[in-house]
Structure 1
Amino acid sequence: MSRPVAPHRSLVVRLLGTSVLIVILSVATAAWLAAKTATRAVQAERGQSLAGDSRIYDTLLGFAAAHDSWNGVELTVQHLGDETGRQITLTTADGQPIAATHPGGKLPGRPSAVLDPLGATTGVIDPRAVGPYQLTERDRSAQRAQAEKRLNCLHEQGIEATVAERPSGRSVVRLAERNPRQRQNCSFREDAPTQTELAALKELSHGLGRCLTDRHLPQVDVYSVDFTWQYRPDNIGGSSQDIQDCVDRARRDQLRPYVAPSARLYLSSPARPPTPVFELSSASTLRIAGATAFVLLAAVTATLVVGMRLVRPLRALTTAADRAVHRPAPVAITRNDEIGRLAGAFNDLAARSERSEEQRRTMVNDIAHELRSPLTNIRNWLTAGQDGLAELDQDLVGLLLEESGLLQHIIDDLADLADADAGTLALNRDSYFIADLLVQVSEAHRGAAERWEVSLGLDVTADPEAAVDPARFRQIVGNLLANAIRHTPAGGRVDIRARTEADDLVVDVADTGEGIAATDLPHVFDRFWRADKARTPATGGSGLGLSIARKLVQAHGGDITAASTPGMGSTFTVRMPTRATPE
């Protein structure tokens, strides 16, 4: 019997340890990936938030540049709030509400931006603030035609260019960065101011002139819609930056009636649980990578060590099994774990195989011996009759028939054992009263009992009924009865007793014979086994009766046991269920 495996030597514990290492490795890798992914997600979310805020600012600034007031901005604010998920509030410079996605909400401490298309604080006028420079449809068409003429001229020379339209409706030809030199001039005066623009530039010149005079600066002329300026021939001097300031001031004064007044923009996020932010520096990333590499190396090393320790004895077992052509050979593996127990079981199997082989050889010898005696007798008498040494009279024929009957009996017994071993023993079970079957068996063996001067007794309690194969049941009791009669001396007694206990049928065959020694009792059901080795088949039977009886009882779902006291007799007890169990 194998001993229990110590916990620290158990393969389960070792495999569990290896699994824990792999889990640690997986967790470390997953944590690093999660942190990295979260960082990227947060960065992406921030980028989206910034892009959304920039879109809100640009859209509302464009609205202010194209409208002379904030009237009607509510729909735009609500639409931007729905698209970006931000809370948007627009107020005047003195804090009066203009529009909001969530009216009545608490405003942040300071505005996110100031919407001023004229750029009083930034110094940059929004290009969408065009005011009086907005072209009429007639001017737009005429100027567009001139721009397309130049575009066609450039394309004919293989020069890449496109036409773009400014907020004022003016079309502008834009050349690609790299182009061949022009072979001919493609200027069609598409950049010349239209009548609308000339009128607006004239108005701008009046305001510009006043600013230059107030600052004691020389007068300049603004000659294009790009608001570039140049000195007049008789007035050169002064700071160009001061002059540019006057140009910008004059432009703001000119555009102010056409744009919405300055407003404050407040942006905030809806109330929601805070999102944890993961930040991984380069040093942290290196540390995580190093730790993960170490855990991976440890896991691989541990797996290899455990795997090699597992594989080595398994290979030894496999080699031993491969070399065992006829039967397994024992292996020298001494371990106190599952593999050690497997090796022990393998060695036990090898020992049992050796014992089975020895038993097989013994059984073959016994079968040969059992068959040789009747065959020898039959052959000798036939040879004597053929040679004229014996007359084939009725007595000799009877003797030959008796020997052939013994031979047939041995062959039938061997066939029954073969069917039982193969699981092909057929039973035709039905419900029978056991007393009738036992009377038949008793009467069949009464003649043998009388020859051996043995008394037979039958005692059936309450005439039990059981589901049995009648022929096989009579064979079981007959084998036990024949064995008891042979081992009971003259003047002895053999009794058959039957009864029911719970749902079992119990049949005892008891004799007052010589009994069986305690050392021999475990072997009484072995094939060809005899307590008295000097007995011959004529006096001791074939040695298969008890084996066949046990196999037949087991086929009925029961079992048979033996109890004996040397010098006083033996009792064989058959116990089987009264009802057939479904297969």
Structure 2
Amino acid sequence: MRRSVLLRFLGLSLAVALGAVIATAVIATYSTSEKLQGEIAENASQLQTDGEIYSRLNEYAGEHPTWSGVDKVVKQLADETGRRIAVTEPDGTVIADSARMLGAGPELPSMPAATIDVRNEGNALFTKASAAIATRMPPGKAEARVMMSAPYLMSPSWGLTDQERRERDRLADQAVACYQSKGTTATVSKGGGEGPQVIVESGGSVDGVAVTQVMKVGAAPVDDECMPAELNAPSAKALMINQDEVRRAVSCLKAAGEPFSLSSYKLPGLQTVVPANTDQPFSQTMIECTSKARSDALAPYVAPEARLYLGAKNAFNVFSGEGLLRTAATALGVLLIAALVMVFAGRRLVRPILALTGAAQRMTNGDHATRVPVAGKDEVARLGHAFNAMAESIQHHDHQRKAMVSDVAHELRTPLANIKGYLVASEDGVVALDQALVSSLLEEAGLLERLVVDLQDLALADAGKLRVHPELRDLSELAQQVVSAHRPAAEAAEVSLIAEVNGPAPAVVDNARVRQALGNLVSNAIRFTPSGGKVVVGVRRAGDGYNLTVVDNGTGIAAEHLPHLFDRFYRAEHSRSRTTGGSGLGLAITKHLVEAHHGTITVTSKLTHGSTFTIHLPSRPFPPDKA
């Protein structure tokens, strides 16, 4: 069994898409690898640049209580490094973005490059590693590692006021003068964020190269009379924060019942909280108390936590330079493969369509017997079956048309021949043009008129122009009118014709059209009911409408003729003449009239037991339309 055309097209599309994905992956992998290989040498300097950016911003956070004004630093760093720099709050609110300063608004990277959190800097690292540090490091060293998480312990120059900085500069000048008075070369470097630096030449050399010693502020105290101790003392702000931190930590530890002791730090005046037994590691309670105390003490003096995003100014474009040539070559390859696949598969898909086209052209040329071979159960196969059914219907209607033309010619020829014959005989004096001859001619003309009217009704129905004019009528009264109109014909045929109704039956119908349809059925019933027979016209309620029935006990109709009763010019007994059998158009017209009322007509019959014709008409109103 052939697969569905839809599934085949889907498979082809997926195959082409898969090829495109593979080709894209190849291009991206090759181009990215080539780009990365070209940038390997630059990564070291890029990491160094990013480290400097982080250091500068971290320094800013340690010297300012808020991030206000950091945009100037961000812009300066972006101009110096050529990097996009963005600082945001933890919830994503942008504090400063070098790209937005230039009028651009690209989205930030999905992940930040770093988190700037001076208040808690080092606490997370200490929380994970404090136990290992305490067990591996000699006694008394663990607390030194802990204290490095506070920015004011990094350097004695942190938090200096302008007055304190000027005093440090004076002390540095004094130390240089002292060294020079002793014949030792010394200089001082002032300015910058680290405070003054005293540089002293040692006087020695290594391989002819002079060796100098840089005495930076914040270094361990030096046993040298020229180096004043105040040069390495912490700032007043650092002392105040340290005292607040120790106070908070001590309060927390006492509340928790945790034993502790206070230890002096290398910078004079600073203290830290350590375990009572310095050989023991920090407990979880001590870690939490000291971390929170340090964070709370620093909060009023340093900037809050922020996210740092870094990005390049230009993204790599695979469609530039040599990448464009490779992309074009790959695209052509994908298109070639897709074309080959579509040609191979398309020929199989198009073959049955070409067969249908050829058959349709043969039908256009008059060959209504043409058919197409059909195999499988897919959409094309269903189209082939539909085409063959259409051809069968066209052929059948063509046969009906030819038969109808022949029947119409026959029906018209007989009365015309009679009229012409009588008129010629009268003209030749063979037959006198008396009252009897005129009556006969009028009867033949009436037959012609009825045939023409019937053909006109059928033509209107075929053209969709058989209109009805509905109005509220009583179907019971209408049935009685039909019975009254046909009673003379029934009495002449010695057939009993009665109406059976059960009260009013209101419905919206075209009175003339329903009488015509019901009259055709009654006329046929009288014609095919022998003398002494009976025809009953009934009206009964049925669902949402009414059933109009015409029941006779006449000769009946064979079962093989029932499906064709409503075909034009069809007679159950072909031996009947137009006088005894009618024109063969009455039932066809009746069917169209009923359908114009959105109704249905059915028939049941059995030979020698009579027939029952049933018209069902809806009682609800309907808009006038075409049949």
- TM-score range (shorter-chain normalised) is 0.5 to 0.7
Which residue pairs with 1:18 in the alignment? 12
Q: How does 1:215-294 map to 2 (within 5 A)?
A: none
Which residue pairs with 1:482 in the alignment? 523
Which of residues 303, 308, 320 in structure 1 aligns to 2:359? 320
Q: Partners in 1 of 2:48 and 2:354 — Cα distance?
A: 69
Which of residues 434, 437, 444 in structure 2 aligns to 1:403? 444
State the secondary structure of the residue aligned to 1:515: coil
Q: How does 1:412-423 map to 2 (within 5 A)?
A: 412-423=453-464
Q: Please state how far the C-alpha of 1:565 moved relative to its aligned partner.
A: 0.9
Which residue pairs with 2:569 in the alignment? 528
Count residues with an aligned counterpart: 397
Q: Partners in 2 of 1:496 and 1:466 — Cα distance?
A: 17
Q: Aligned in 2, Cα 1:334/1:81: closer, same or farther, shift over 3 Å?
A: same
Q: Partners in 1 of 2:86 and 2:48 — Cα distance?
A: 8
The question of 1:504 aligning with 2:500 is answered no
Q: Aligned in 2, Cα 1:378/1:49: closer, same or farther, shift over 3 Å?
A: farther
Deviates more, 1:510-519 or 1:16-25: 16-25
Q: Aligned in 2, Cα 1:35/1:521: closer, same or farther, shift over 3 Å?
A: same
Q: Which amino acid aligns with 1:500?
A: R
Which residue pairs with 2:432 in the alignment? 391
Q: Partners in 2 of 1:449 and 1:303 — Cα distance?
A: 75
Q: Partners in 2 of 1:76 and 1:390 — Cα distance?
A: 129
Gaps (5+ residues) in structure 1? 1-5, 62-73, 88-99, 109-210, 216-240, 250-268, 281-285
Which residue pairs with 1:335 in the alignment? 375
Q: Please state how far the C-alpha of 1:322 moved relative to its aligned partner.
A: 1.7
TM-score under structure 1 length normalisation: 0.59
Instruction: Give yes or no for contact 1:28–1:292 (8 Å, CA) kept in 2.
Output: no
- Higher gyration radius (CA): 1
Q: Which amino acid aligns with 2:357?
A: T
TM-score under structure 2 length normalisation: 0.55
Q: Partners in 1 of 2:473 and 2:467 — Cα distance?
A: 18
Q: Please state how far the C-alpha of 1:78 moved relative to its aligned partner.
A: 5.5
Q: Please state how far the C-alpha of 1:106 moved relative to its aligned partner.
A: 5.6
- Percent identity between matched residues is 40
State the secondary structure of the residue aligned to 2:392: helix
Which residue pairs with 2:349 in the alignment? 310
1:355-380 per-position Cα deviation (integer Å, ceiling 9, x unaligned): 22111111111111111111111111
Instruction: Give yes or no for contact 1:429–1:467 (8 Å, CA) kept in 2.
Output: yes
Q: Aligned in 2, Cα 1:272/1:361: closer, same or farther, shift over 3 Å?
A: same
Q: Please state how far the C-alpha of 1:502 moved relative to its aligned partner.
A: 1.6
Which residue pairs with 1:371 in the alignment? 412
Q: Aligned in 2, Cα 1:490/1:86: closer, same or farther, shift over 3 Å?
A: closer
The question of 1:562 aligning with 2:603 is answered yes
Q: Partners in 1 of 2:479 and 2:511 — Cα distance?
A: 10
Q: Partners in 2 of 1:358 and 1:514 — Cα distance?
A: 29
Which residue pairs with 1:452 in the alignment? 493
Q: Aligned in 2, Cα 1:485/1:79: closer, same or farther, shift over 3 Å?
A: closer
Instruction: Give yes or no for contact 2:487–2:497 (8 Å, CA) kept in 1.
Output: yes
Q: Which amino acid aligns with 1:319?
A: G
Q: Aligned in 2, Cα 1:287/1:389: closer, same or farther, shift over 3 Å?
A: same
Instruction: Give yes or no for contact 1:327–1:353 (8 Å, CA) kept in 2.
Output: no
Q: Partners in 2 of 1:397 and 1:403 — Cα distance?
A: 10
Q: Please state how far the C-alpha of 1:40 moved relative to its aligned partner.
A: 8.4
1:368-421 per-position Cα deviation (integer Å, ceiling 9, x unaligned): 111111111111111111111111112111111111111000000011011111
Q: Partners in 1 of 2:500 and 2:86 — Cα distance?
A: 103
Gaps (5+ residues) in structure 2? 57-69, 88-114, 126-200, 213-305, 319-324
Deviates more, 1:298-307 or 1:374-383: 298-307
Q: Partners in 1 of 2:12 and 2:393 — Cα distance?
A: 36
Q: Please state how far the C-alpha of 1:294 moved relative to its aligned partner.
A: 8.0
1:474-517 per-position Cα deviation (integer Å, ceiling 9, x unaligned): 00100000011110111111110101112111010011110000
Which residue pairs with 1:208 in the alignment? none
Q: Which amino acid aligns with 1:462?
A: G
Q: Which amino acid aligns with 2:13?
A: S
Q: Which amino acid aligns with 1:80?
A: Q
1:76-104 per-position Cα deviation (integer Å, ceiling 9, x unaligned): 856534664289xxxxxxxxxxxx98756
Q: Partners in 1 of 2:609 and 2:536 — Cα distance?
A: 14
1:315-353 per-position Cα deviation (integer Å, ceiling 9, x unaligned): 121122123223545244232133233223222322222
The question of 1:80 aligning with 2:76 is answered yes
Which residue pairs with 1:259 in the alignment? none
Which residue pairs with 1:184 in the alignment? none
Instruction: Give yes or no for contact 1:32–1:288 (8 Å, CA) kept in 2.
Output: no
